[in-house]
Structure 1
Amino acid sequence: MPLFGPKQSKEGKRRMEHKMTLAKSSPEPSYDLSDCELTEVPSGIYALCKVLQKEVLLLHSNLLSSLKGGGILKDLCALRVLDLHQNRLSSLPDDIGELATLQVLNLENNKLTSLPEAVSRLQALQTLNCRENRLTDVHSAIGNMKSLRTLDLSRNRVSVLPKQLCRIKTLESLLVDVKQMVYPPAELCEGGTAEIMKALCAASGEEYTPPSHHLLPVLDAGTRSEVTPPQTDKHLLIQQEYDKSLQESFLNYEKLKEQKRREHLELEAQLQAGHQEQMVMFSQASQARQNVITVMAQEQDKMDGELTDLQNRKEQEKQRLVQSLQSGMEFIFARHCLRTF
């Protein structure tokens, strides 16, 4: 971390502490630390996710430059969703491959220049969002990801796709920047995911079949040649159930994001209301102080006026007394003079 890098504000720290308290007390399967101005993952968070059996970790909209600080990534062994979008990540640690149950990895809007080969070990991963980074190529090992269904490489610097990508038979959506593509060529990429995969399969000498025709690795692929129509129907039913489960998983994730967004807005409103209340109290206190000062000033002016009046009266009384004495002395002197003559 840079010596003089960004720091978490008091408001960000207060928001983080509030969210950590919510995560510990809530039965929800998510641990939300999004939008807390985090410059590093708080200590012990990964272990807490394991202890609290959290399946979703939201760290998006922060200032993270790495995943260090949170503990051992392997503690996130039960995690299904890891949302890191809108941070400052320039690389991922090799132990990211330890997240064996991870299904959604959102890396959108970071500073990644490459993906480690360890990402290919995420065999349960179904959605990999790398949109808006600084990727220049894709490691050929990505072809080992047997469950990947969505891969977003758009708004990067990727112009060449590895042929090994055709090994991902479950890939349904592949997003690239068509205009900058060299291989497969741009005009072919305009045809969408199916055309790209067909071209990669042809270049690798493999037959292309739509993702919907492929059974999941959990099914017994060794008996496919002996599958009878009833068994085929059974496998298709399992496939449909899986698709339904996957769709529900994404819907739940989106609902959770929306819920957290509303909670964030509510928290912001509470913080804003608290801030406004403090400002009102401060204004009232300032006004009360000003009123006291005004009253004291008025009392002081009044006292000064009364003192001045008293001094004036004393001065006038003194002058009258002096004049009276002078008049008495003149009378006595005059009388004495008369007697003398």
Structure 2
Amino acid sequence: MTSKNGGRVVVITGASGGIGRAAARRFARRGDRVALLARGESGLDGAADDVRRAGGTALAVPVDVAEFDEVDAAAARVERELGPIDVWVNDAFTSVFAPFTEIEPKEFKRVTEVTYLGYVYGAKAALSRMLPRDHGTIVQVGSALAYRGIPLQTAYCGAKHAVQGFNEALRCELLHNRSHVRTTMVQMPAVNTPQFDWVLSRLPRHAQPVPPIYQPEVAAKAIVYAADHPGRREYWVGASTAATLIANAVAPGLLDRYLARTGFTSQQTSQPRDPHQPANLWEPADDTGEPDFGAHGDFDKRAHDRSAQLWASQHHALLGVAGAVATAVGAGLALRSRRS
């Protein structure tokens, strides 16, 4: 469905930086009308400029996704100013890099409210508008950590696991009701985003994504594709995501031991953590007067700008046909060999 004003109406939470920022630009390149939801004013202003330069229409809405009333009011404003919402992308999150014993209960609660309940509230606001029209798509930005917990990220992993369970249950309800509203989830690998510069950290060294690292544009491409093809329950981005999920399904105990040995060092660089590093747990790191962090983090030189696994995830049917043809050809050759 296309908005009466041209393009689709897309809402993105966490749109001021990282994956959300890159996704906003990619939707805008098609002329979509993009509502940008986040807390930081500098990041929102930068994201709105990105959308306009890319050819889209931007609406920046300051909102804390941990507050349902703010999210619902934002959705109402989007529909007043841009039109009926076609796509809602849940991406906002926060986290704490630290061993579980060093995370305060109020901090754990805050991560859960933003990273899990923010998705619940976003879905609630979207569905209250999409269901009466029997049209719309919700894209949940997930992670390999929605299936596989790793050390030093207990709060984030717990929230992403919760999102996974919530999305599966919601999908079943929509299917039961034969609704044309769809929900799908995109499981991400390690991505080169600014989060490692503004997530609250108590690690001795500077935090980093676990290699291999992908650029946020790879994630954005997957999100836009999922929004266009929401019939699939989920998409995997990055070979590391596929390897992690398969290994966790086959040998989770061995993976526990492997991550116990490697998970602490692989999430830290050799540089000491800056004691004055901003933290966005309670306040946005990119508030008025602070820098706009943009979409990319500090790891451009190490980040991949494409993913073969994403292509495979988008073309399961084609790969299945190719596999069947290869099997048939192989069987035919084997039979011919026996006859000769």
TM-score range, shorter chain: under 0.3
TM norm structure 2 = 0.25
Report which of the two structures shows the higher radius of gyration computed on alpha carbons: 1
Q: Which has the higher contact order (CA 8 A, sep 6+)?
A: 2
